Amino acid sequence: MSEHFHIHRKELDGSEHLHGKDRHGQRKQLLSKIKDTPGLIYIERQIHDDAIVISGSLSIRFESADLDACVAECLEAAAREIKERNGIVGHIKTSVSTSSTSMISVTDEEAMVKHSPIRRARITLAAIVFIIDPVDAENIIRKSLSDIRARLRPGK
């Protein structure tokens, strides 16, 4: 049985939505590619009983920045906004993984080490909130990831 899917991907190329029919795992392959696209904000929203569960991710290339502080500040702002709308924050959790590239070259007997100023990060988020419009909650979380992206990549 084919599963219909709907992915919001305005962030990637300006198009508003991607619709389709899942045949032979196409949705899973597509989601994997979308989630790994640098700069793309990926969001999913589900309702479980009274809880609104939002998961999201952002893969980004950035130069020097205090990544953990940036993520913490943007998520605190999201929690404040949810509370200002009389919502309840169960939790907003993220995992942040980073990588960087170094090149080591040896000529004759001496090594030269160069470090790329560009690092990569993958931010994966899970939020559980209550008593707020689900679309509003999704938009608040999307904005927090967008704010992280804007602060880490100013001018882009």
Question: What confidence tier does 17 reach under pLDDT thresholds 50, 70, 90?
Answer: very low
pLDDT at 94: 97
Residues 84 and 127 in one domain: yes
Higher per-residue pLDDT: 11 or 148: 148
Q: Average pLDDT, stretch 116-135?
A: 94
pLDDT in tens, 45-64: 999 999 999 999 999 988 86
| Nearest residue to 48 (alpha-carbon basis) of 117, 112, 128, 104 | 128
Strand order in the sheet with 51-62: 41-48, 51-62, 110-130, 88-107
**Positive or negative: CA dihedral 115, 100, 58, 24:** positive
Residues 14 and 90 in one domain: no
Full domain range(s) for residue 131: 38-152
Question: What confidence tier does 27 reach under pLDDT thresholds 50, 70, 90?
Answer: low
User: What's at 65, amino acid-wise?
Assistant: A
Beta-bridge partner residues of 33: none
Rounded to the nearest 5 percent, the helix, strand and coil shares of the chain are: 35, 45, 20
Residues 60 and 137 in one domain: yes
Residues 52 and 121 in one domain: yes
The answer to whether residue 7 scores a pLDDT higher than 70 is no
